[in-house]
Amino acid sequence: MSAPLNLMAPDVRANPYPLYAELRRRPVCQVEPGGMWAVSRHDDVVAVLKDTRRFSSAGLGRSFLPPWLERNPVAASLVMKDPPEHTRLRGLVSRAFSGAALQRLEAQVRAIAEELAEAVVRQQEVDFVAAFSLRLPVRVLSLLFGLEPELWPRMRVWADDLLSIPASHPTPERREEIRQSLEEMERCFQALLASRRAAPGEDLVSELLGAEGLTDDERMSFLFSLLPAGFETTAHLLSNTVLVLTRHPREAERVIAEPRLIPRLIEEVLRYEPPAQSSLRLVTEDTEVGGVRVPRGALVAVLLGSAMRDEQRYPEADRFDLDREGQGHLPFGHGIHFCLGAQLARMEARLGLEALLARIRGVSLTRQEVSWSQSYIARGPLRLPVRFEPRADDFHTQPPRG
Ligand code: HEM
C-alpha cells in the first residue's frame, strides 16, 4: 500500500502544487496530518464553503485553547462561529472595515509604505521579509488599533505566539511565555478600550465600542483575532509577490514600466501563490463531497491553493499570467466568512508595491533556495534575500528620511 499523501512533507511545503494536482485527479480522500479529508477541486471547495450547515467553522477554536491554556480570546472569534451567531457578530464588526474606514487610512498607509520602501531600496541587498513584508502589516495593524510605537515590536511577538498555539507541543517555559504574552495583549487591549471609551476617535476600537450589542468579551476576541488573520497573511502576500517577480523578469519589467498593472499583479499572485492555502471545516453529519462519503466529525482541509490551480476553472492554471481575466475571490475564502480584511490587504499590497516599484529598475534573488513557512494553512517564504537595482534618478536625488 502506498504511503498516505502528506500536506506537511518537506517537498510539499517547498512546492505543494504537484500534490494538489495529484489530489484533483483522485476523488476526495484522506491525507496526513491527522487523516483530514482533502477537498481540492474548485467546485468542491466552493460547495463546502457555501454549506455552513454541514461544514461548520465552530469547534475550530479548540486548537487555540489546548488544555494547558486557561484562556484565549481568539478561540471565540468570528471566523470560528457559525450562523446565527456569526451573522450577528459580522453585522456588528464589519463597519470598521467599510470603504470609508479604509479611505481614512490610505494616506497614512502610503506614508508608511514610502518610508519602508525608501529604506530597503537604499540598502539594495536585504532580507525582504524582515525589512519590509513583516513591517508594513505590523505598522498598519498598529495604526488600525491606535497603538503607541513602543508596542509595535510586541505586536509581532503576540502574533507569532498566537499562531504557534495550535501546532506546537510547547515546553513548560514556552507555555509560560505564551500565557504571559496573551495576558499582556489583553491588558493592552483593555487599556485601549478604556481610553477610547473615555475619548472616542475615528479608529477601529472606537468603531467597535460604538457597535451596540457587542459585549466587551466579543470586542476583545475580535481584536485578538486580527493578529493571526491580518498580519502573517499580508506579509506573505508582499513576499510572494516579490518572489514571483524575481522568477518572472519579463512581467517584472512590465509592471515597473506600467504601475497601473499593480492591482492585476496582486490578483494573479493571490491566485498563483496564495498566502492562505487552506481553510478547515468540521463535518456535522454524514455527507458527500465530490461523490465521496465523509463521516460526521471529520475534519476537512479546504484547499484554496489547489482550487485556484484547477484546470477546469483556470486554463493553463500553472502559468503565471498577468493578462488572465476572472481570478475570482477564492484567495480570501468564499461565502459568509469571506475575509473581512480583503480590501485592507489589497490596499496594503498595492501601496507597498507602488512605493517599492517606483524606486527600482529590477529585483533579483541573491540565493536561489527559498525556505518556506511550515504550515499547510499559510504559505510564504521565511526569508527572501534580494538585491534591488535602484532607479538612478530617485536613488541619488532623494534624501534619506528620518
Ligand atoms: C493577503 C492577506 C489576507 C488573506 C490571504 C486572507 C485570507 C482569509 C481567508 C481565506 C479567510 C476565510 C477563512 C475561512 O473561511 O475559514 C479570511 C477571513 C478573515 N480575515 Fe482575512 N486574509 C488576509 C488579510 C486580512 C486582514 C488584513 C484582516 C484584518 C486586519 C483580515 C481579517 C479577517 C477576518 C476578521 C476574517 C473572518 C471573517 C469571518 O469569519 O466572517 N484578513 N481571511
Does residue 228's CB lie within 6 angstroms of at least one atom of ligand 1?
Answer: no
Alpha helices in 51-171 (DSSP H): 85-93, 99-123, 128, 135-145, 152-167
Alpha-carbon Rg for the chain in angstroms: 21
Does residue 239's CB lie within 6 angstroms of at least one atom of ligand 1?
Answer: no
DSSP letters, 161-182, are HHHHHHH----HHHHHHHHHHH
Measured CA to CA, the distance from residue 388 to residue 83 in angstroms comes to: 48
Q: What are phi and psi of 213, to 5 degrees?
A: 110, -15
Does residue 352's CB lie within 6 angstroms of at least one atom of ligand 1?
Answer: no
Q: How far is CA 321 from the centre of its chain?
A: 22
**Gap from CA of 156 to ligand 1 centroid (Å):** 18
pLDDT in 10s for each residue of the chain, 402 residues? 567 799 999 999 999 999 999 999 998 999 999 899 999 999 999 999 999 999 999 978 888 899 899 999 999 999 999 999 999 999 999 988 888 888 989 999 999 999 999 999 999 899 999 999 999 999 999 999 989 899 988 998 999 899 888 866 788 999 999 999 999 999 999 999 999 999 998 889 999 999 999 999 999 999 999 999 999 999 999 999 999 999 999 999 999 999 999 999 999 999 999 999 999 999 999 999 999 999 999 999 999 999 999 999 999 999 999 999 876 779 999 999 999 999 999 999 999 999 999 999 999 999 989 999 988 999 999 999 999 999 976 554 444 443
Does residue 331's CB lie within 6 angstroms of at least one atom of ligand 1?
Answer: yes
Q: What is the DSSP letter of 129?
A: I
DSSP SS3 for 124: coil
C-alpha cell at 5: 499523501
**Gap from CA of 53 to ligand 1 centroid (Å):** 20
Measured CA to CA, the distance from residue 282 to residue 284 in angstroms comes to: 6
Q: Architecture of 10-397 per CATH?
A: Orthogonal Bundle (1.10)
Pocket test for ligand 1, best of 339, 340, 344, 346 (most atoms within 8 A of CB): 339
> Ligand 1: which atom is nearest the Cα of residue 144?
30
Measured CA to CA, the distance from residue 305 to residue 396 in angstroms comes to: 42
Domain limits of the chain? 10-397
- Report pLDDT for 397: 43
DSSP SS3 for 39: strand
Taking CA atoms only, the protein residue closest to ligand 1 atom 36 is 339
**Under 8 Å between Cβ of 357 and 121:** no
Task: Identify which of 281, 283, 333 has the alpha carbon closest to the alpha carbon of residue 305.
Answer: 333
Does residue 235's CB lie within 6 angstroms of at least one atom of ligand 1?
Answer: no
**Under 8 Å between Cβ of 235 and 134:** yes
Q: Which residues of 123-133 are buried (b: 16+ CB within 10 A; e: fewer)?
A: eeebbbbeebb
Measured CA to CA, the distance from residue 282 to residue 300 in angstroms comes to: 6
Q: In what order do the strands lie in the sheet with 360-365?
A: 125-127, 385-390, 360-365
Cβ burial of 198 (10 Å; 0-12, 13-18, 19+) is: exposed
Q: How far apart are the first and last CA of the chain?
A: 63
Strands (E), 199-342: 278-283, 287-289, 292-294, 299-303
